[in-house]
Amino acid sequence: MRKNSIDNKPLYNRNFGLVCVSGFLLYATAYAVLLPLMRSGLAADICFPFVVGIQLAGAFNAWLADKFRRRHVLAYPFAGMLLVAVGYAYASTPHQYMALALLHGICFGLATSAALTLSIDVVHTGNRTQANMVYAFVSRLGMVVGGTAGLWLMPLSTYHWLGPVLAGAAGVLAASWMYVPFRAPIGLPVMSNDRYLLVRALLPGLNVGILAFACGMLVLPMQGGMAWLLLLTVLAPWLVRMFVKLSHHCQRATGNVTFNLFVDAGLLFGVAYAQAVGAFPLWEPFAWMALAGAMYLCVTRVYYKKKRVR
């Protein structure tokens, strides 16, 4: 019996390619700005407000995606990140940096959620898990490339923000070129957990956050420390698949956002902790990694096998 052609839809298409380009540049732009600022002694002023900003944005993700065109929910906050990047170059007091970091986190959180939603919308239903895994890898690769480029451009002083701004502008253009079919609003509440926090995935989220924290501790102090971000990039497709498998119908995007929330928060807190303490025994981050591995083998894996629904 001949299979229906709809069952053999390819994963890659123009819109999914543009989503991946936007995701790569979104993370590249964010980390090209964040890591140099944190290395320069501003970790305490940047980290916590940025993570709080992501949290503040999260509760409105579903309503914005329902109320407005999703590519606009990606493009406008993305553009806001570019303005924040320029603002950092002219900030001079801790309060200014904290305010900018809060706004940066809000824009990043909104853009991340919108990009994840689009990466699901623009592919065939049967390809969505694979699309989630590909997007997770590509966006985290942007984190590595952007962070490395930002630290390399750091000696250029005031003008080091030009690179992230140019990359971000390309990302905004890629978001604007997507074609996403119109979806009628279904009247979601203004604030909700949808596309924000998957309660069923909090345990795996904590596990992933501990691993990201350990990697973050090693990023700036060690020579070649960016390799630890590459480790998170390689693991991202497998890890995000666990969050997807824990999600019920229409919770796929929520699982993806939860995964990214814990990875970004854990990573940035790890970088900030390392910068705050200055010197720490080399075994400490590896002890955190061992804890993350033991937690997965003894607790998270058992929980995942019991609770997975896909």
Name the band, by pLDDT with cuts 50, 70 and 90, for residue 250. Answer: confident
Q: What is the pLDDT of residue 1?
A: 39
Structure tokens at 70: 């999703």
φ/ψ of 179, rounded to 5, equals -115, 115
What CATH code is assigned to 11-307? 1.20.1250.20
Q: What is the pLDDT of residue 188?
A: 78
Structure tokens at 33: 């700005």
Q: Between these two residues, 152 and 233, which has the higher pLDDT value?
A: 233
Residue written as tokens 């109320």? 67
- The predicted model gives 78-84 an average pLDDT of 93
Residue 4 clears pLDDT 50, i.e. is over it = no
Residue 55 clears pLDDT 80, i.e. is over it = yes
Q: What is the pLDDT of residue 11?
A: 85
Q: What is the pLDDT of residue 129?
A: 92
For the stretch 279-289, pLDDT in tens is 889 899 999 99
DSSP assignment of the chain equals: -PPPGGGG--S--HHHHHHHHHHHHHHHHHHHHHHHHIIIIIHHHHHHHHHHHHHHHHTTHHHHHHHS-HHHHHHHHHHHHHHHHHHHHH--SHHHHHHHHHHHHHHHHHHHHHHHHHHHHTS-GGGHHHHHHHHHHHHHHHHHHHHHHHHHHGGGGGGGGHHHHHHHHHHHHHHHT------------SS-STTT--GGGHHHHHHHHHHHHHHHHHHTTSTTTTHHHHHHHHHHHHHHHHHHHT--TT-HHHHHHHHHHHHHHHHHHHHHHHHHH----THHHHHHHHHHHHHIIIIIHHHHHHH---
Q: What is the pLDDT of residue 77?
A: 94
For the stretch 183-241, pLDDT in tens is 766 777 888 877 889 999 999 999 999 999 999 999 998 778 899 999 999 999 999 99
Residue 298 clears pLDDT 80, i.e. is over it = yes
- The predicted model gives 149-153 an average pLDDT of 86
- The predicted model gives 120-148 an average pLDDT of 93
Name the band, by pLDDT with cuts 50, 70 and 90, for residue 5. Answer: very low
Residue 140 clears pLDDT 70, i.e. is over it = yes
* Choice among 51-60, 100-109, 206-215 with the minimum mean pLDDT: 51-60
Angle at 22 between CA 271 and CA 176, to 5 degrees: 140
Task: For 242-270, give one letter per residue: b (16+ CB within 10 A) or e.
Answer: bbbbbbeeebbbbbbbbbbbbbbbbbbbb
Q: What rounded mean pLDDT belongs to the chain?
A: 90
Name the band, by pLDDT with cuts 50, 70 and 90, for residue 278. Answer: confident
- The predicted model gives 242-257 an average pLDDT of 91
DSSP assignment of 245-260 equals: HT--TT-HHHHHHHHH
Share of the chain above pLDDT 70, in %: 95
Query: What global pTM score does this model have?
Result: 0.92
* Choice among 198-212, 245-259, 295-309 with the minimum mean pLDDT: 245-259
Q: What is the pLDDT of residue 158?
A: 58
- The predicted model gives 53-61 an average pLDDT of 90
Radius of gyration for the chain, computed over Cα atoms and rounded to the nearest angstrom: 19
Q: What is the pLDDT of residue 22?
A: 95
Residue written as tokens 């698949």? 241
Domain boundaries, the chain: 11-307
- The predicted model gives 166-194 an average pLDDT of 82
- The predicted model gives 78-107 an average pLDDT of 94
